[in-house]
Amino acid sequence: MILSLEALSFANRGTAILSGVTTVIPDKALTCLVGPNGAGKTTLLRILSGELKATSGEFLIGDADATRLSQREIARQVSIIPQDVQPPPYLSVSALVQLGRFRPYGALWRRLSRQDHVAVNASLARCQVEALSRRRMEELSGGEQQRAWLAFALAQEKKFLLLDETLDGLDVLVKKSSFELLKEVAAEGKGIVLTTHDLDLVTHFADKVIVLGSGKVVYEGPPNAGWEHRVSPAGQAR
Amino acid sequence: MGLAMGPVKLDVHQLLSAIVSGDDHTAHVLVWDLRLPRVAAALLVGACLGVAGCLLQSSTRNPLGDPQLFGLGGGAAVVQALAMAGVIGIGAWGLFSLSVVASLIGAGVVLLFASRQGISPARLALIGVSLSALAAATATGILAEARIFSAQPLNFIGGSFANVGWQDVLPALPFLAVGLALAATVMGNLNALSLGDRVAANLGAEPGRTRAASIAAAGILGGVAVAVAGLVGFVGLLVPHLARLLVGHDFRKVLVVSIPLGAAVTLYADQTARLLFMPSEVPAGLVTALLGAPLMIYVARRVL
């Protein structure tokens, strides 16, 4: 299954944020979305997660026309960790990951099923946060928090995972190990889209790069030698 | 204790015989017409305020959530003041309905502000406190203009169960049922809302709809509480925090536990208010304020 966009545009109060974006988000791959601030990266993720509707163009999830689907229907396939996400300070890691198994409007006393527990434990183990599961989110370092959020996303068992600058702000070693983890998770079958400003790690780990500049795709493909020249040191797409 | 204690004390034998038979007419009237409705009213108002506070705290992600602090009871207070002043005379059921409608208008204002991105918990509470103060001033002004200087308006502004009868309790029951039913439709979504609107929406929890239903239910329950006992403050703030200490942070459990806990806190507050300076008494709201005000200062210091 892939996410495909064809001539997709989005405007907010008459201002074009995305114009004619045509690209494909494959599964089983780590796709990095790169571009300067204001290039439209977050808006693109919000469209992919169903939070925003494109002004025009096509958005397909597999063969399904996602422009006709509700946010809830899209969310069955796509999970997102937004940039400014803040968990309540009291929440433990295991409580957060268990919320990944949340069912809207479910039975009031719905308890986690055996299958839910298997998914939660597998996600905690996959993201190496098992030992932290009883700790509160506010007690964790930045890198540990990001791994907990990733476990929360994996517990949802959705096909695609969108991460909005989730790793930016972490120190280099933590960021590198997080990229390695994402690469492994993607290889196991997930389609992951990560927006980031760290071009070196993108070159090293990404399966695919999409460079956005002023709301347009200026480069799409593997991180072959020289791809980063599409993004200027000042962050402006060329 | 609420049935046996008071200026006229009843021992266990007298109390039981007063409940099951009318042989001792004075004791029967004392229990059935004076003390029992008062106990029932305190339990009902406490349950309403506890649930309303829990709904407000969870749906707005604001630990200062309280129907009185958020200004929900203000509109109902004005309606009650108008009724006391004789400006509107529409019977108990009409008055309850009008109080709930007025409280729902206050809930609409809270929803309007709470739905705006980036509004801080403290700012939302400040807006609510301002609305509450404005409504309380308006209610006091109406009562002063009508030259009502009995204990009734004082009890009303302070929040009291003195002189509450069955006629004040029974009309509240259907509104309580509607408020709880509305809360039940969305209470399963409240935990997801704690992760923020965008993550909650991605989990399918429909934060806008969940918040609107929660605040509307809090408006109904807050309006009912004011119609029965006036402005009993801080119960809605206090009870969910106590419930979290008992059952953790699962909002489904917190909401359910807030029903008996709110009822118990309010009942004991009223009994304290009734018995501490017997035979005279103080409004129950003074006792709840003594408990709740320090908590509010503590929580506000943490969220500011």
B36-46 average pLDDT score = 93
A107-116, A173-182, B232-241 — which is least confidently predicted?
A107-116
The residue whose two tokens read 């007063």 is: B18
Q: Residue A237: pLDDT band by 50, 70, 90 thresholds?
A: very low
A98-118 average pLDDT score = 83
Residue B45 has pLDDT above 60, yes or no: yes
The CA distance from B25 to the nearest CA of chain A, in Å, is 46
What pLDDT is stored for residue A13 in this prediction?
87
B100-126 average pLDDT score = 81
As given in the structure block, the two tokens for residue A205 are 């780990």
What pLDDT is stored for residue B53 in this prediction?
95
Q: Residue B240: pLDDT band by 50, 70, 90 thresholds?
A: very high
Q: B245 contacts in A (CB within 8 Å)?
A: none
Collapsing DSSP to helix, strand or coil, A74 comes out as helix
Residue A8 has pLDDT above 90, yes or no: yes
A177-181, B162-166, B200-204, B223-227 — which is least confidently predicted?
B162-166
As a whole number of angstroms, the distance between CA B110 and CA A68 comes to 33
How does pLDDT run across B5-26, given as a tens digit for each residue? 666 677 777 777 767 776 777 7
Residue B167 has pLDDT above 90, yes or no: no
Amino acid letter for position A6: E
* A177 and A67 in a common domain: yes
Residue A11 has pLDDT above 50, yes or no: yes
Task: Please check whether residue B295 touches A, CB under 8 A.
Answer: no
Determine whether the interchain pair B198/A85 forms a contact, defined as Cβ–Cβ distance below 8 Å. Answer: yes
The domain that holds A191 is classified in CATH as 3.40.50.300
Q: Is the pTM of this model over 0.90?
A: no
Question: Burial, B235: exposed, middle or buried (Cβ in 10 Å; 0-12, 13-18, 19+)?
Answer: buried
What pLDDT is stored for residue A236 in this prediction?
46
Residue B214 has pLDDT above 80, yes or no: yes
Determine whether the interchain pair B203/A99 forms a contact, defined as Cβ–Cβ distance below 8 Å. Answer: yes
B272-283 average pLDDT score = 81
* A116 and A43 in a common domain: no
| Residue of chain B whose Cα is closest to the Cα of A100 | B203
Range of the domain at A123: 84-157
A165-174, A217-226, B17-26, B52-61 — which is least confidently predicted?
B17-26
Domain membership of residue B57 (yes or no) is yes
Q: Residue A118: pLDDT band by 50, 70, 90 thresholds?
A: very high
As a whole number of angstroms, the distance between CA B265 and CA B260 comes to 9
Q: Kindly give the residue spans of alpha helices, DSSP state H, lying in B115-150.
A: 121-145
Mutate to test the interface with B, among A46, A102, A136 (most CBs of B within 10 A): A102
Averaged pLDDT of chain A: 89
A231-236 average pLDDT score = 54
* Chosen domain end from A125, A157, A189: A157
* A68 and A169 in a common domain: yes
Residue A235 has pLDDT above 60, yes or no: no
CA–chain centroid gap for A230, Å, is 22
What pLDDT is stored for residue B282 in this prediction?
83
* A213 and A100 in a common domain: no
Domain membership of residue B5 (yes or no) is no
As a whole number of angstroms, the distance between CA B7 and CA A67 comes to 71
End-to-end CA distance of chain A: 31
What total of structural domains would you count in chain A? 2
Residue B304 has pLDDT above 60, yes or no: no
The CA distances from residue B245 to A90, A108, B253, B254, in Å, are 12, 21, 11, 9
Residues 172 to 191 of B: which have CB under 8 A from any A CB?
184-189, 191
Domain membership of residue B2 (yes or no) is no
The CA distance from B143 to the nearest CA of chain A, in Å, is 44
DSSP 8-state secondary structure symbol assigned to residue B8: S
Residue B171 has pLDDT above 60, yes or no: yes
The residue whose two tokens read 């009942």 is: B267
Percent of chain A at pLDDT > 90 equals: 61
Q: Residue A66: pLDDT band by 50, 70, 90 thresholds?
A: very high
The CA distance from A22 to the nearest CA of chain B, in Å, is 24
What pLDDT is stored for residue A22 in this prediction?
95
- Closest Cβ–Cβ partner in A87, A103, A107 for B195: A87
Residue A233 has pLDDT above 60, yes or no: no
Task: Please check whether residue B247 touches A, CB under 8 A.
Answer: no
Q: Residue B118: pLDDT band by 50, 70, 90 thresholds?
A: low
Q: Is A157:A119 a contact under the CB 8 Å cutoff?
A: yes
B126-151 average pLDDT score = 83
* A172 and A67 in a common domain: yes
Task: Please check whether residue A19 touches B, CB under 8 A.
Answer: no
Q: Residue B152: pLDDT band by 50, 70, 90 thresholds?
A: confident
Domain membership of residue B4 (yes or no) is no
Count of C-beta atoms within a 10 Å radius of residue A26: 16
| Residue of chain B whose Cα is closest to the Cα of A137 | B195
Percent of chain B at pLDDT > 90 equals: 28
What pLDDT is stored for residue A108 in this prediction?
66
What pLDDT is stored for residue B284 in this prediction?
85
Residues 20 to 59 of A: which have CB under 8 A from any B CB?
49, 51
- Which among B233, B283, B284, B238 is positioned nearest to B261, based on CA atoms? B238
DSSP A163-211: EESSSTTS-HHHHHHHHHHHHHHHHTT-EEEEE-S-HHHHHHH-SEEEE
The domain that holds B229 is classified in CATH as 1.10.3470.10
The CA distance from A47 to the nearest CA of chain B, in Å, is 12
As a whole number of angstroms, the distance between CA A233 and CA B232 comes to 61
A51-55, B60-64, B153-157 — which is least confidently predicted?
B153-157
When mean pLDDT is compared over B92-96, B154-158, B200-204, B256-260, the highest value belongs to B256-260
Count of C-beta atoms within a 10 Å radius of residue B144: 13
Determine whether the interchain pair B192/A102 forms a contact, defined as Cβ–Cβ distance below 8 Å. Answer: yes
Amino acid letter for position B124: L
Q: Is B172:B96 a contact under the CB 8 Å cutoff?
A: yes
As a whole number of angstroms, the distance between CA B108 and CA B102 comes to 10
Determine whether the interchain pair A102/B184 forms a contact, defined as Cβ–Cβ distance below 8 Å. Answer: no
Domain membership of residue B38 (yes or no) is yes
Percent of chain B at pLDDT > 70 equals: 94
* A122 and A22 in a common domain: no
* A37 and A146 in a common domain: no
What pLDDT is stored for residue A94 in this prediction?
93
A87-97 average pLDDT score = 90
Averaged pLDDT of chain B: 85
* A197 and A139 in a common domain: no
What pLDDT is stored for residue A238 in this prediction?
44
Range of the domain at B279: 12-303
What pLDDT is stored for residue B7 in this prediction?
67
Instruction: Give the contacts of B296 (CB within 8 A, at least 6 positions apart).
Output: B64, B66, B69, B234, B237
Residues 20 to 79 of B: which have CB under 8 A from any A CB?
61
* Chosen domain end from A141, A157, A173: A157
- Which among A184, A186, A211 is positioned nearest to A196, based on CA atoms? A211
| Residue of chain B whose Cα is closest to the Cα of A77 | B202
What pLDDT is stored for residue B245 in this prediction?
87
As a whole number of angstroms, the distance between CA A132 and CA B31 comes to 56
What total of structural domains would you count in chain B? 1
The CA distance from A71 to the nearest CA of chain B, in Å, is 7
What pLDDT is stored for residue A106 in this prediction?
67
